[in-house]
Amino acid sequence: MPSDPKAAPDLAPGARTLVDAVRLFYKESRHTEPCVHHWLAVVLERHGPMAESLVKGIDVSAMRRSLAEKLAQGETGAALSEESLLEAARQVSVSKGKALVAERDVTQAVLLAAGYSVEGDGSPVVVTPLASSTPASSSASSSSVQAPARLQASSAWAPRNSAPTPTLDQFGQDLTKMAANGQLAPFVGREEEITLALETLCRRTKRNPILVGPPGVGKTAIVEGIAQRIVAGAVPPLLRGMRLIALQPSSIVAGSSMVGELEKRMTALLAEARLDGILLFIDEVHAIIGAGGSAGRSDIASQLKPSLARGDFPCLAATTDEEFRRHIEADGALERRFQPVRVQELSPEATLLVLKALKESLEKLRNVTVPDSVLAWLVEFAGSNLKNRFFPDKAVDLLEQCVAHAVANSKAEADMEVARLVARRLAGLPVSPEERLGTLSKILTVRNLLLPDDLERLMARLQVTVRGLDLRPNRPNAVVLCAGEFAEAAPALGSAVAEGLFGSPERVVAVDFARFTHHTDITLLLGAPPAYVGYNEDLPVHGFLQMPWSVFLCENVDACHPSILRVLSEALGSGFFTDSTGRRIYLSDAVVICSAPGIEPSGGPSRAIGFGSAARVEEDVEGGMAKICEEALGFEFASNCDLVLFRPPAAADLDANLDTARRLLDELTLRYRTHGVDINWQEGVAAWLCGKAHGTMNAAAWERLIDRYVAPALVAHLPRPGEGHGVRLVVTVDAESLHVDKTAAEPAADDVEKNERRS
């Protein structure tokens, strides 16, 4: 069997995807090689209508159920290697005069291998599997595939107990009935979790599996998959014909305010659940604790515990890791009633299969097609940019939003353009990397915040990381340390980076580490432990949960306690914090700017020293900044810094200073206009301000210059209440000082018209 079917140069993308799906399916089924039933099950699941068009009179739904039952019993059919199947599909393609093998050719080859006569599509093709790989359960000979008996439809599902269940019907939802009616979404994968859940349901006592995993990994979908298996008969005999009924604790409690009403409902519900053929499912099972009464005495949980312990009826449940720890584990008696089944996040490859299965139902429901290339891009985008959520939920959300966008805009296809627009809008991602980086470079240049070499190195780093092309994409996009004299410019640099790279100067999450002088102050950064004051409160770092594309401004990192600095160092290396609830807060899409004013250089060059390995020391600089930072902040912190800045840029030329002065004066004009003041700056004001500038002028220094010389002269002329249309200020300068002349502002045209009408 070839190690990679993608190596076949004449395989179309759709056919390649179909082969990948078969490979994943038989591996998840814990089989060592692909067999006829594996190929046939995947083909019917993905291309049922195509199979019906190739073989007249077949019942795809019945065949699916029969195949699922056979595979569950270990009947895989004859071994059918990828090499043999693809060669047969290639023969089909050549007979049609095509250069590429499409999924229709693969489907036809599978049907022929299964013994079906394909009408109107060429002569039958002989498919010879590997003789040595034929399983003992197969009836195939060692030389060729024996055509198996045509798959017969299994009897339609019907509950094995027809006794009425009015209470369950009122407060529950019959998932098996929905599955029989085709109302549930197609389900793929999760064979291990389903197998373990079904085994637990077959126990004599405590036959209550609880699915535990992060939100969005598909716990409820697994239960729906079990319902579909029950309907298909692909479950152990003990579970065949059962009704899987989903209960919501909130529905049971609703309207039970009268004393004894909840107990009455629960008594009737439990009596019906004890009937043969009933399987309960409680989603968000932690909600039963304290629902309808005091926890441990009169709530739903206390009334369920005896029946669950005796095994009066089987019960499925689901909850998240956090809720399981906080509620279920805290109640030891309730925890013992359940058998945890851990549900981990799906891999991107398995998620892609989920999207492909969902795509078909969405196309039928909304008449919107979605190319397979878009599905692959959505999975990649979700994995790279939605790190706070889990597969497959985050990818499914993107797919459904793309289809909804196409429907709302009367489009027949959700193409790549739609996918990019919807994904970035849904995730809150700014515009394209090229525009963002270009804007950032202009802002940093105009504001004269960095030396040319520093600006070049920072932009070179961001050119790689913003696109996710760095070797460690989990780390922040850049970590900049502003030490010594440059620490004062860190807030201005953070605001500029947020404005240029993320679209708004407000996208800054600032934390002053000078507050964290004791090791217990870690609670101010990551939250208090459970049962302590402040647990579960919002923290500044939680801003990254809703706004991951931001600047993380860590001020005065040299003044915090060493243990807290160590936590920050670990977060810069791993790319995430872990708060007191166990939730990860990712910094992967952020730019981290740290300030350390207490670190001073002991001589050396007038430019910054950037380093990627902490031990790098400039040999020609005594006490170079790299070594100083390593000694002051530790090896781990220094090793995670991409750029170290310790001297602000020198004064720029006259043209650059004039541009900066004019820009700040224009900003001041807009600010005063909101207070009814119109300012006219005469020629020479900007040049006069440049004369006041000296030495090293960064953005913060320019702002202080304006606040010192200009703002006090303007504030005295703010209009008082009742002064009419406001004032107009004319600002001039002479060699010594600034002069502000106040004149009456000209009334607006509409005000003049009103005055004329009055007169």
Q: For 534-550, what is the HEC assignment?
A: CCCCCCHHHHHHHCCCC
Quick one: which of 413, 420, 346 has its CA closest to 381?
A: 420
Strand partners of residue 209 = 339
For residue 447, what are the contacts with CB-CB under 8 A and spacing of at least 6?
A: 492, 496, 660, 698, 699
Residue 153 lies in a domain: no
Evaluate if residue 740 carries a pLDDT over 80.
yes
Tens of pLDDT, residues 192-209: 899 899 999 998 888 899
Give the model's confidence band at 625: pLDDT under 50 very low, under 70 low, under 90 confident, else very high: low
More confident residue, 648 or 548: 548
Alpha-carbon 97 to chain mean position = 44
Q: Do 535 and 488 fall into the same domain?
A: yes
pLDDT for 746 equals 54
Residue 34 lies in a domain: yes
**Domain end call among 645, 668, 688:** 645
Number of domains comprising the chain: 5
Mean pLDDT of 118-144: 36
Q: Do 176 and 246 fall into the same domain?
A: yes
Q: Do 382 and 244 fall into the same domain?
A: no
Evaluate if residue 414 carries a pLDDT over 50.
yes
Q: Do 491 and 611 fall into the same domain?
A: yes
Q: What is the 3-state secondary structure (H, E, C) of 643-669?
A: EEECCCCCCCCHHHHHHHHHHHHHHHH
pLDDT for 623 equals 41
Distance between CA atoms of 20 and 15, rounded to whole angstroms? 9
Judge residue 238's burial from the number of C-beta atoms within 10 Å of its C-beta, 0-12 exposed, 13-18 middle, 19 or more buried. exposed
pLDDT for 181 equals 87
Q: The domain that contains 253 carries what CATH number?
A: 3.40.50.300
Evaluate if residue 503 carries a pLDDT over 60.
yes
Evaluate if residue 243 carries a pLDDT over 70.
yes
pLDDT for 294 equals 60
State phi, psi for 689 to the nearest 5 degrees.
Answer: -65, -40
Which range among 54-58, 435-439, 527-531 has the greatest average pLDDT? 435-439
Q: The domain that contains 681 carries what CATH number?
A: 1.10.8.60
**Domain end call among 342, 371, 399:** 342
Distance between CA atoms of 624 and 609, rounded to whole angstroms? 8
Q: Do 112 and 188 fall into the same domain?
A: no
Residue 759 lies in a domain: no
Distance between CA atoms of 662 and 665, rounded to whole angstroms? 5
Tens of pLDDT, residues 555-577: 999 999 999 999 999 999 999 99
Distance between CA atoms of 13 and 100, rounded to whole angstroms? 9
pLDDT for 119 equals 54
Evaluate if residue 754 carries a pLDDT over 50.
no
Evaluate if residue 528 carries a pLDDT over 90.
no
Mean pLDDT of 168-192: 87
Evaluate if residue 25 carries a pLDDT over 90.
no
Cis peptide before 392 (omega within 30 of 0): yes
Give the model's confidence band at 700: pLDDT under 50 very low, under 70 low, under 90 confident, else very high: low
Q: Do 110 and 171 fall into the same domain?
A: no
Residue 520: other Cβ atoms inside 10 A: 11
- The overall average pLDDT reported for the chain is 80
For residue 570, what are the contacts with CB-CB under 8 A and spacing of at least 6?
A: 636
Mean pLDDT of 286-290: 84
Q: Do 456 and 581 fall into the same domain?
A: yes
pLDDT for 590 equals 93
Give the model's confidence band at 125: pLDDT under 50 very low, under 70 low, under 90 confident, else very high: very low
DSSP-based three-state secondary structure for 15 = helix
Q: Do 311 and 421 fall into the same domain?
A: no
pLDDT for 725 equals 57
Evaluate if residue 143 carries a pLDDT over 70.
no
Tens of pLDDT, residues 653-674: 555 667 777 888 888 888 888 7
Residue 452 lies in a domain: yes
Residue 180 lies in a domain: yes
Q: How far apart are the first and last CA of the chain?
A: 98
pLDDT for 595 equals 94
Residue 373 lies in a domain: yes
Residue 138 lies in a domain: no
Give the type of residue at 115.
Answer: G
**Domain end call among 399, 427, 455:** 427
Give the type of residue at 748.
Answer: A
Give the type of residue at 316.
Answer: L
Give the type of residue at 445.
Answer: T
DSSP-based three-state secondary structure for 75 = coil
Q: The domain that contains 21 carries what CATH number?
A: 1.10.1780.10
Give this prediction's pTM: 0.58
Tens of pLDDT, residues 511-527: 999 999 999 999 999 98
Residue 757 lies in a domain: no
Please give the residue range of the domain that contains residue 385. Answer: 348-427
Q: Do 379 and 498 fall into the same domain?
A: no
Evaluate if residue 132 carries a pLDDT over 70.
no
For residue 39, what are the contacts with CB-CB under 8 A and spacing of at least 6?
A: 22, 80, 85, 110, 113, 114
Q: Do 540 and 598 fall into the same domain?
A: yes
Tokens in use for 354? 């989920």
Give the model's confidence band at 759: pLDDT under 50 very low, under 70 low, under 90 confident, else very high: very low
pLDDT for 678 equals 84
Q: Do 210 and 315 fall into the same domain?
A: yes
Distance between CA atoms of 212 and 341, rounded to whole angstroms? 6
Q: Mean pLDDT lowest for which of 361-365, 411-415, 423-427, 497-501?
A: 423-427
Mean pLDDT of 394-419: 93
Q: Do 170 and 21 fall into the same domain?
A: no
